[in-house]
Amino acid sequence: DAMVIQNPRYQVTQFGKPVTLSCSQTLNHNVMYWYQQKSSQAPKLLFHYYDKDFNNEADTPDNFQSRRPNTSFCFLDIRSPGLGDAAMYLCATGRSTDTQYFGPGTRLTVL
Amino acid sequence: GEDVEQSLFLSVREGDSSVINCTYTDSSSTYLYWYKQEPGAGLQLLTYIFSNMDMKQDQRLTVLLNKKDKHLSLRIADTQTGDSAIYFCAESRSNAGNMLTFGGGTRLMVKP
């Protein structure tokens, strides 16, 4: 049974065309994270929600936004994707001071 | 700042043991984790160890922690071809909201 679900698994968008990636969880975890992972690199944290509180990493570009309408769902919005934004985007969830559980990821291609 | 390092690549024969090593710099690390990532997939939590432990064993997996040397290892006994993947070491600190700092990952290749 999937606990952290990401949709779609593969997303193709055009240069500059806004795109939204989705993450949902059945674990009732209060923290949700978004990571960007480029080929052969470690995941890089973009931002996280602690309950409803949004926490942006200092080096996350303004092009990346996030929404968390409720405990179960979190969205990653890329307002104007560039070629350099092509990557795997990973969602993770956790309790306040507990382990992070990752979803399967969405691979974004920018044409 | 914190830093986590791993060797890039490890190749073993099927049936042998694999040992993947990780070093970290932050002595205030609370938990240390091993995640497995297969091609095109997300990160699967394999195991973790609390910083006051020396060893943790879970079936074929053994984690050793040398806190003095800030060295963590993952031993996989009887390595199978299905163990071929990238293995990420990560550390977190309770005073940093459980933010993870990842190593660069070790690619394990298992030859039949």
Mutation target to probe the B interface, by most B beta carbons within 10 A, among A89, A100, A107 is A100
Q: Residue B105: which of A42, A55, A92 has the nearest Cβ?
A: A42
Residue B23 CA to residue B65 CA, distance in Å, equals 10
Residue B20 CA to residue A82 CA, distance in Å, equals 36
pLDDT in tens, B34-89: 999 999 899 999 999 998 899 999 999 999 999 999 999 999 999 999 999 999 99
pLDDT grade for B99, boundaries at 50, 70 and 90: confident
Q: Please compute the mean of the pLDDT values over residues B5-18 and round it to a whole number.
A: 96
* Kind and range of the H or E run holding A31: strand A31-37
Contact check, Cβ <8 Å, B99/A45: yes
Contact check, Cβ <8 Å, A98/B98: yes
State the count of interchain CB pairs (< 8 A) between A and B: 49
The whole-number pLDDT of residue B48 equals: 93
pLDDT grade for B95, boundaries at 50, 70 and 90: low
Residue B49 CA to residue A32 CA, distance in Å, equals 22
The whole-number pLDDT of residue B40 equals: 87
Provide the CA B45 distance to its chain's centre, in angstroms: 10
The whole-number pLDDT of residue A71 equals: 94
Over pLDDT 70: what percentage of chain A? 97
Which of A62-76, B21-35, B67-81, B90-104 has the weakest average pLDDT? B90-104
- B66 burial class (0-12, 13-18, 19+ CB within 10 angstroms)? exposed
Q: Please compute the mean of the pLDDT values over residues A50-78 and round it to a whole number.
A: 95
Q: Are B112 and B22 contacting, i.e. CB atoms less than 8 angstroms apart? A: no
Taken in order A61, A41, B52, A97, is the CA torsion positive or negative?
A: positive
Does A5 lie at the interface with B, CB-CB under 8 angstroms? no
Does residue A79 come out as left (phi exceeding 0), alpha (psi in the -120 to 50 range) or beta?
Answer: alpha
pLDDT of residue A13 exceeding 60, the answer is yes
pLDDT of residue A1 exceeding 70, the answer is no
The whole-number pLDDT of residue A98 equals: 72
Residue A95 CA to residue B94 CA, distance in Å, equals 12
